[in-house]
Amino acid sequence: MRYLPKSQSDREAMLSDIGVQSIDALFAAIPEEYRLTGDLKIPRSYAESEIVEFFRDRAAENAQGYATFLGAGAYSHYRPVVIDALISRGEFFTAYTPYQPEIAQGTLQSIFEFQTMICELTGMDVANASMYDGSTGAAEGLMMAARVTGRHKSAIATSVHPEYREVIATYARYQGMPLATVAYGKDGRVDLEALDKAVDGETAGVLIQSPNFFGIIEDVAAIADVVHKRGALLVVSIAEAVSLGIVKPPTEADIVSLEAQSFGVPIGFGGPYCGVMATRDKFVRQMPGRLVGETTDRNGKRGFVLTLSTREQHIRREKATSNICTNQALVALMCNIFMTIYGKQGLKELAQQNLAKAHYAADEFRKNGAALVFEGAPFFNEFVIRTKTYPRAINDRLLEQKIIGGFPLKRFYPELENASVWCCTETTTKASIDAAAKEVAQ
């Protein structure tokens, strides 16, 4: 077995050192009746070349070389090759949680930089070292709001990603957290009147997403006014992190739950991604997840350590802020490198290209007879159109041209008949937009 560094004689020498006759003696604690006597029924051992061939074959059964207009919570952005070159260093990817700071400064300093950049982009004071993803992060955001306010109820805008809402429903069910929903208005934004009715003196947190599932940028300031008036906290989820290059950050929020997949993380059939939570200084002790802080060593040199761990499960057990332990550190490193590559100017330019492509596409689709479902509110790189025919029929025709069309909304929003949400990023070409525009007209 090529991953095992022992010869048979090594094993025999070690067994004899231990003072047992055979390896079976070391498994004697397992009741004999349960010990396996034969092989597991799984395929034989494969050579490396066979493994590569197997996965290439599986990849060939998936779409390859398609242009895509799918967004809806997972975004196709270009990934600079520097990212994989750096995260493939064994020092990063084969290390564990930096519990021993003297030999983990690489991981710790990079997380500290990550936390800083997330604060700069979201307008929050403090960010954690990552959460599993945007959906669980949003659930944790509402749970955190309940801890901060000492209240129980939550309200969620229906324009939040439907799968995020499903996850939150699962998390909330047994925590005594009733969930109210807040409808969207004609412009696709949170209906402020509905919000006003949904929030009361027992509401702990209100969750919105901006840009929302329809791609529309919410009026965060107006929403925050309504929420704060009742003493509740506003949790803003951001699923498309590149929007932060050009869209005003939700500075009126109390908690921001970001899904940073857009920052250089492979779309990879849905994961692993990178959730992050950011908040105000005053709430930091109620925030879940690992945090890195600056300190000094005995000689006064700057260094970094995991800190405020008294919030966490390994210390607090059932009284912890969350049961989260493992996070998404390596994925956060991808995001960190991505943010560093694009930097202050590049992220803006990148966002500008996304904005321009999506607006060009929306205009072309409209010229070709599709209707923009939500008029009057700003959008970033996604928009909802209504077509004369069923979106799946349009998408089927596009697939023949190796183009994956927009995401049909009816599955999650029965009221949005023949509507679909389309995404354009910097990777979307004018040629594929023009090709799609012809089909949506049919």
Partner 1 sequence: MNSKIRKATTHISQNEGLIFEKSSPGKKAYKLPPLDVPAVDAEEVLGKAARNDPGQLPEVSEVEIIRHFTRMSTWNYAVDHGMYPLGSCTMKYNARVNEYVARIPGLAEAHPYQPTRISQGALRIMKMLRDQLMEITGMDAITLQPAAGAHGELTGILLVRAYLESQGSPRKKILVPDSAHGTNPATAAMCGYAVENLKSNAAGMVDIASLEAQVNQDVAALMLTNPNTLGVFEQEIRKIADVLHARGALLYMDGANMNALVGKVRPGDFGADVMHLNLHKTFSTPHGGGGPGSGPVACKKILEPFLPTPVVITKPDGTLGFDYDRPQSIGRVRMFYGNFGMFVRALAYIMANGPDGLRQTTEDAVLNANYIRKHLQGLYDLPYNTPTMHEVVFSDKIQTRKGIKTGDIAKRLIDYGFHPYTVSFPLVVPGALMIEPTESESKEELDLFIDAMKQIAREAEESPEVIADAPYHTRLTRLDETAAARKPVLRWKPQAELVAK
Does residue 391 belong to the site contacting partner 1 (CB under 8 A)?
A: no
Per-residue mark of binding to partner 1, 222-241 (x: CB under 8 A): --------------------
Cα angle at 270 between 184 and 47, to 5 degrees?
Answer: 175
Residue type, 434: D
Does residue 269 belong to the site contacting partner 1 (CB under 8 A)?
A: yes
Candidate segments 196-204, 230-238, 246-254, 381-389, binder of partner 1 by CB under 8 A: 246-254
Does residue 342 belong to the site contacting partner 1 (CB under 8 A)?
A: yes
Does residue 400 belong to the site contacting partner 1 (CB under 8 A)?
A: no
Does residue 21 belong to the site contacting partner 1 (CB under 8 A)?
A: no
Q: How far is the CB of 185 from partner 1 (least distance, A)?
A: 16
Provide the 10 A C-beta neighbour count for residue 377: 19
Does residue 10 belong to the site contacting partner 1 (CB under 8 A)?
A: yes
Residue choice 179, 180, 183, 341 for contact with partner 1 (CB under 8 A): 341
Provide the 10 A C-beta neighbour count for residue 105: 15
Does residue 401 belong to the site contacting partner 1 (CB under 8 A)?
A: no
The span from the first CA to the last CA of the chain, in angstroms, equals: 58
Does residue 442 belong to the site contacting partner 1 (CB under 8 A)?
A: no
Q: Write the DSSP string, 388-404.
A: SS-HHHHHHHHHHTTEE
Provide the 10 A C-beta neighbour count for residue 375: 9
Provide the 10 A C-beta neighbour count for residue 399: 13
Does residue 264 belong to the site contacting partner 1 (CB under 8 A)?
A: no
Facing residues of 7 across strands? none
Contact 422, 382 (CB under 8 A): yes
Distances (CA, A) of 371 to 212, 229, 367: 19, 37, 9
Candidate segments 196-204, 227-235, 322-330, 366-374, binder of partner 1 by CB under 8 A: 322-330
Q: How far is the CB of 325 from partner 1 (least distance, A)?
A: 5
Site for partner 1, residues 159 to 178, rule: CB under 8 A: 161, 163-164, 166-167, 169-171, 173-176
* Cα distance between residue 172 and residue 315, in whole Å: 24
Candidate segments 148-156, 199-207, 227-235, 422-430, binder of partner 1 by CB under 8 A: 422-430
Which tokens go with 144?
Answer: 């955190």
Q: How far is the CB of 210 from partner 1 (least distance, A)?
A: 9
Candidate segments 98-106, 229-237, 366-374, 382-390, binder of partner 1 by CB under 8 A: 98-106
**Closer residue to partner 1 in complex, CB, 98/205:** 98
Residue choice 67, 77, 135, 253 for contact with partner 1 (CB under 8 A): 135
Helix or strand or coil: residue 102?
A: helix
Site for partner 1, residues 273 to 302, rule: CB under 8 A: 284, 290-299, 301
Site for partner 1, residues 48 to 67, rule: CB under 8 A: 48, 50-52, 54-64, 66
Per-residue mark of binding to partner 1, 172-211 (x: CB under 8 A): -xxxx-----------------------------------
* Cα distance between residue 37 and residue 158, in whole Å: 54
Phi then psi dihedrals of residue 184, to 5 deg? -100, 155
Residue choice 21, 100, 414, 415 for contact with partner 1 (CB under 8 A): 100
Does residue 316 belong to the site contacting partner 1 (CB under 8 A)?
A: yes
Residue choice 67, 72, 206, 224 for contact with partner 1 (CB under 8 A): 72
* Cα distance between residue 297 and residue 22, in whole Å: 48
Contact 153, 200 (CB under 8 A): yes
The DSSP call for residue 192 is H
Site for partner 1, residues 24 to 43, rule: CB under 8 A: 26-31, 34-36, 39-43
* Cα distance between residue 202 and residue 191, in whole Å: 20
**Closer residue to partner 1 in complex, CB, 66/441:** 66
Distances (CA, A) of 340 to 95, 207, 279, 349: 22, 29, 22, 14
Which tokens go with 251?
Answer: 């500075």
Provide the 10 A C-beta neighbour count for residue 125: 13
Candidate segments 14-22, 152-160, 367-375, 383-391, binder of partner 1 by CB under 8 A: 14-22
Does residue 268 belong to the site contacting partner 1 (CB under 8 A)?
A: yes
- Residue 281, exposed/middle/buried by CB under 10 A (0-12, 13-18, 19+)? exposed
Q: How far is the CB of 227 from partner 1 (least distance, A)?
A: 18
**Closer residue to partner 1 in complex, CB, 81/201:** 81
Q: How far is the CB of 421 from partner 1 (least distance, A)?
A: 10
- H helix or E strand, kind and range, residue 166: helix 162-172
How many chain residues touch partner 1 (CB under 8 A)?
Answer: 198
